[in-house]
Structure 1
Amino acid sequence: MKKWTTALLLGIFLLTLFLAGCGGSEPAKEQAKKVLRVGSETTYPPFEFQDEKSKEYVGFDLDLIRAVGNQMGYEIQIQSMAFDGLIPALEAGNIDALISAMTITAERAKKVTFSQPYYKSGLAIMVRQDNTDIKEFDDLTGKKIAVQIGTTGADEAAKIKDAKISTFNSAPEAFLELKAGGVDAVVNDLPVNEYYITQGGGQDAKIVGKALTSEDYGIATAKKNTELAGQIDKALAELKKNGEYEKIYVKWFGSKPQ
């Protein structure tokens, strides 16, 4: 009888462990988030850049896409790549979405689906502090201009008569070329130029003239992925409604969105 009782108790114990194991695995599966692979050109502060201390990718865009992902139930995985490689990577299926201070244009919209606009920007001219010749866009005729490859700044600079265009893979490289005296001006997004100035670049450079354009940034997804595009738009709308978007905006720009 003692042996039978011991065996019965052991059986109940083992059965309890088995059922507990089965019951515990299901919630774990439910809690596991799906991964959203997001491409970004991560040398474009304050929108996306690598923190020197933590080595994490940070910035307005990356805070925003992580908030979007959280709203959708996705874990965001940032993949750093060249700006001109972002859309091809999206088309090839190597990433699921991209966020990289990318202006919504008709040409790009032929290849990708853009979300609702999440930031309003514009192009600006930056010159060295001692430059008194360039005050507006028309003064760039025949000048040496630095731009980042694949950007709307590069597109606009290409329209300037007799301009000598130097193309760089990143905005910081263009800024360094200006500082070194290799070019007369940089044509780039206004908020990025302003961030460079406030972070110490103002000792060497200044912004001149008015914003050349008015541009909207959007999050892009593949043309065929209409479901994901809809989810991102819905998440953005909710973040603007619940105040999270404004919180992120104030963190990086010091003022509320217009």
Structure 2
Amino acid sequence: MKRLKHTAVLLTVILTGILFLAGCSIKKTENRPTITIGCKNDVPGFGLLDTTTGVISGFEIDVASAAARIIYGDDVEIRLQPVTAKTRGPLLDTGELDMVAATFTITDARSKFFNFTQSYYTDHIKLMVRKASGIRSFADLDGCTIGVSQSSTSRQALETAADEQGMTLSFSEYGGYPEIKVALDSGRVDCFAVDGAILNGYLDESALILPDEFESQEYGIAIAKYNSDLAEKADAALTEMKNNGDIKKLMEKWGIT
């Protein structure tokens, strides 16, 4: 009787081991490359979260995803992680993100800390105000408060323009674009300043975008400095997408000009 029990236990151990090894084997064969992309989830047309489905979609999502498939193949698993202007850089540095496609403007200062691909979109800083405010030009904003995103390039560009025209501006920084729009609607700021394509996503009947524009904004895919190999491959992928017309098709798909 004892021998039978011992044999049963032994068979159980052997079977468990076989199943475990089989599980490991399946896991290995199912492994595929994974890339984590930092993106915006509050910019209509570029990267916006559908609160009903939980899906983030937009022009930049498609551009970065297509680049990832060119680099790693169609089987690549793409993970999206929402970022803000303040968090995207640190998350690249820590390795939590492999690349960022999140209205990230290429500048000389930023290029010292991150690898950037070539630009996939060009924009300019623009200004949104309430129609009822009576503000109709940049000059009318003298003494006003401008709402900008944290760590964005908008503030510096407007400070430079204000100095050149002898104007005085105040700034309030916010963590996200919806917050700035709410601040504009409530009168806590007099103007919402950011890239024109982003403002277009927040334009409604109560607001207007001024004709003034400032500093060209070239968007690129950002990758950590220590990952130059991926940066080179991502840049080559964008070249391919420009040459075969894919970038243009994606702009048309999302109504981006």
* Structure-2-length-normalised TM-score: 0.81
Question: Could you list the per-position Cα deviations for residues 64-111 of structure 1 after superposition, in whole angstroms to 9, with x for gaps in the alignment?
Answer: 111111111232211123321111111122211111011101111110
Paired-residue identity, %:
29
The SS at the match of 1:83 is coil
Alignment of 1:146-225 (within 5 A): 146-159=147-160, 160=162, 161-197=167-203, 201=204, 203-225=205-227
What letter is aligned with 1:81? Answer: V
Q: Does 1:93 align with 2:92?
A: no
Q: Separation in 2 of the partners of 1:158 and 1:187?
A: 12
Q: Do the aligned residues in 1 keep the contact of 2:137 with 2:212 (CA within 8 Å)? A: no
- Superposed CA deviations along residues 30-70 of structure 1, whole A, max 9, x for unmatched, are x7531111122322222111013321111111111111111
Structure 1: runs of 5 or more not aligned = 1-21
Aligned equivalents of 2:127, 2:135: Cα separation in 1: 12
**Does 2:34 match 1:35?**
yes
1:242 alignment counterpart? 244
For structure 2, the 5+ residue unaligned runs are 1-21
SS at structure 1 position matched to 2:214: coil
SS of equivalent to 1:150 = coil
| TM-score, normalization by structure 1 | 0.81
What amino acid is aligned across from residue 124 of structure 1 in structure 2? K
User: Moved runs in structure 1, 4+ residues, more than 6 A?
Assistant: none
Contact conserved, 1:65 with 1:76, CA < 8 A, in 2?
no
Equivalent AA in structure 2 for residue 181 of structure 1: G
For 2:180, give the aligned amino acid.
A
**Number of equivalent positions:** 227
Q: Are 1:72 and 1:231, in contact at CA under 8 Å, matched by a contact in 2?
A: yes
Tell me the equivalent position of 1:45.
44
- 1:155 partner amino acid: Q
Letter in 2 for 1:130: A
- Residues 197 and 256, structure 2, Cα contact 8 Å, conserved in 1: no
1:129 matched residue in structure 2: 131
